[in-house]
Amino acid sequence: MAAKHFINDGTTLVQDALHGLALSNESLRYDEDIKAIINPYHDGDKAVTIISGGGAGHEPSFVGLVGDGLLSAAVSGSIFASPSVQQIQSTISRVGGSAGILLVIMNYTGDVLHFHLAAEKARLAGFDTAVLVVGDDVSVGRRKSGKVGRRGLAGTVLVEKIVGALAKQGKLTLQELCKVGEDVVNNLATVGAALNHVHIVGKSATESAIHMDQVELGMGIHNEPGCYVIKPQPTISSLVDQMLDKLLDPNDSDRAYVSFSRDDKICLMVNNLGGVSNLEFSAMTKTVVDRLHQRGIKPVRLYSGSFMTSLDGKGFSITLLKASAQMLEALDAPATTPGWPITPRLPENHAQAQLDERDFMASLKRACEGIVVAEEEIDRFDSVVGDGDCGSTLARTARAILREIVTKGQDTSDEGDVIHNLETLAIVVENNMDGTSGALYAIFLNALAASLRVIGTKLSERRLVQRSDWVQACSDALQAVRQATPACVGDRTLMDALEPFITSLQNGASEAASIHAAREGRDSTKGMTASLGRAVYVPEQEWSKVPDPGAAGLVCLLEGLLDV
């Protein structure tokens, strides 16, 4: 194996490379003492701090992902070696704040031990700290990986992009953000392949080179041998098919970590391990997309490039993510980092997904007027089990919608932009509805809009949003709400009405039948033991007198929207 490099001193290479990164990106700061790249504009008291890191040699990960909308800082070890506990702890002290710190790392022993120890020291120093360990490799399998679990590969970048975008919004707590990250990991799968091992600067060449006529499938990113040797070297189509088999075969109990289906919203990342030319890599990306299409899978997002390298590794990896609406929205959010050169998606679906705006305004008007009429009754329910203002809060929001949306929208054309209307509605809700209900309604509306945006990207021409589109979008929005709250059916909340309503729609029930299911859910809350909210402090004998006010308000809204 050739051992020739322009720089052959591995001791100084990492420091010089970090310095060069900061010199070429004025928005980044290089901290030489701890070998860290820092976003100096991050405010750890307003948003959760996201710190990652690991051995050098994987650039642009992790240091190239520091910046607005992604990582707050990244700390680098030597080549393929974890940073020290002192480096990590110092980085936490310099960028962390009262909003909490999330450490995102790959599942390698050195990283896991060092970052966990640093997290414990940070907690002792008063920092609210959590560790998210990413394992996305499927090639090793459960039997061989044992208690260690899946290795971390290129899918780590998607995890960091999602939690980084959500952290920037400043709406999620550290624990909520960590839960979203765990959900991403649980829906992530990666497999890699390479033609050769890499030579580490400053090390003597080894005899571990792969023979010229074979490929190793299942390569790691630290020069670990592949799990399978394919000989003779297959065509790129055949190789990709074998890699996709590892990712997609539901009957492979050892490697089927994620269940993918044609109906899922699947994001695809094709990652260059560093040594494949741009020309060849682009052709390989096309092959991956083509072979997925042969299996009936059409990715809703495609990311192709060098995101997680292994020095100059002559190889690539394929990552699949089964994404929720919340994940897609976070992936689409802009990020100003050198290692995420993805241009934010153009809102092309704004010209594709349309609604009958006159009907929409009429439905919205009917629902809001119904809430205003029901204000006193819902307040009466809430005075028994809460603080007595649920109806007033809903009615205040309804009046704001009537004033700021319905009145202004009465002179609109027949067709309107569904995404714009829902985003405007979500803003009015956020500005006028206080408390937990306001947050849940806003999450639902934003996720509803995000899902319809994805649906719109699949359309070849303009058309009105169909019933099936609304059902799918509502399903995605419900999933987003579930990720934000532990509340579910049986907890005496608005979820007792929302979940039966959407489940009925998913099962093909009519609007009238779905509303009936929501009413039954509302009525079932009478006498139900409360698990969340102020109602848990109310004497049990009071619960049987009234339904949950949040569920009652939701049913009122649904009845008005659907005129049932």
Which residues line the annotated binding site for substrate?
55-58, 111
Radius of gyration of the chain (CA): 26
**Crossing angle for the helix pair 495-506 and 511-524, nearest 10 degrees?**
150
**Which pairing describes strands 36-38 and 73-79: parallel, antiparallel, or unpaired?**
antiparallel
Question: Pick from 462, 166, 180, 153: which is nearest to 332 by CA?
Answer: 166
- What Cα–Cα distance (Å) separates residue 2 from each residue in 58, 197, 201, 273, 441? 20, 11, 11, 18, 60
Strand order in the sheet with 101-106: 29-31, 36-38, 73-79, 49-56, 101-106, 129-134
Q: Please say whether the beta carbons of 250 and 290 come within 8 A.
A: no
* Spatial distance between the Cα atoms of 231 and 111, rounded to a whole number of angstroms: 34
Residues sharing a CB contact under 8 Å with residue 146, sequence separation 6 or more, in sequence order: none
Which strands make up the sheet holding 353-356, listed edge to edge?
Answer: 415-417, 353-356, 463-464
Give CA–CA dist 316/25, Å, rounded: 27
Catalytic residue among 42, 222, 293, 420: 222
Residue 216 CB-half CA count within 13 A: 23
**Which residues are 322's β-sheet partners?**
266
* Rounded distance between C-alpha atoms, residue 28 and residue 247, angstroms: 36
3-state secondary structure at position 271: strand
Q: Which amino acid is at 168?
A: K
Tokens representing 512 are 């009238």
Q: Which residue shows structure tokens 């900061």?
A: 22
Contacts of 147 (CB under 8 A, 6+ apart): none
First to last CA, the chain: 74
Q: CA-to-CA distance for 506 and 514, rounded, in angstroms?
A: 10
Specify which residues 540 forms β-bridges with.
none
Q: How far, in whole angstroms, is CA 277 from its chain's centroid?
A: 30
Q: 275 near 223, Cβ under 8 Å?
A: no
Q: Across-strand partners of 76?
A: 54
Within 10 Å of residue 372's Cβ, how many Cβ atoms?
A: 17
Has 42 been annotated as catalytic?
A: no
Catalytic (active-site) positions:
222
